[in-house]
Amino acid sequence: MSDWLMFALQAGLLVVTGVAAWAAWSQAASAKRSRENADAAALRADEFQQRAVSAAERQAEALERQLDRPAWGIASASESAWHVINESGRDLQGVTVEAEQKNAIQIVSKKLPATVRFGETIVVIWSKSFSSPSTMPITVRWESETGGPREQHATLA
């Protein structure tokens, strides 16, 4: 009986050791899965943040392109006057109008530099000494909302 008892004790000890080993292995595997899941979640969060930053950069670039679109159009023109209209979709500040040749512009309908509201027209009256101002370019300058000056050249030719 003592052999049977010894065998039972050894078998019991073997079972207890096996269960303890399995529990330790199971806990280690669970910890490993938790670390892997945490690493994967951190990677997904980093990718999400990178996508959000990229989207924000694309939106900023699109806004900058929108702000840089041509702002002025020639509403009507004759040999003596041009009607230059603000078509930007916003009010523009610090607007000036200059001709390529000095003293080519006799009068501008608005004291410049000034703020020109969206849809507002500036009338440029040419000096009578220029026989055909239709081919002379003018430059309209204004202050950009994003900082810094902007300009656009316009001519009828």
**CATH number of the domain that residue 130 is part of:** 2.60.40
- 15 and 79 fall within a common domain: no
Q: Is residue 109 within 8 Å of residue 85, measured between CB atoms?
A: no
Number of domains in the chain: 2
The helix (H) or strand (E) run that includes residue 140 is strand 138-143
Tens-digit pLDDT profile for residues 124-146 = 888 877 666 667 778 888 887 76
β-partners of residue 95 are: 114
> pLDDT (tens digit, 9 = 90+) per residue, 3-39?
787 877 888 888 888 888 898 898 988 888 989 988 8
Residue where a domain terminates, one of 67, 90, 107: 67
User: Does residue 44 sit in helix, strand or coil?
Assistant: helix
**Residue in 152, 120, 145 with CA at minimum distance from that of residue 67:** 145
The whole-model pTM stands at 0.51
Is the bond leading into 133 cis (omega within 30 degrees of zero)?
A: no
Which structural domain range is residue 8 located in?
1-67
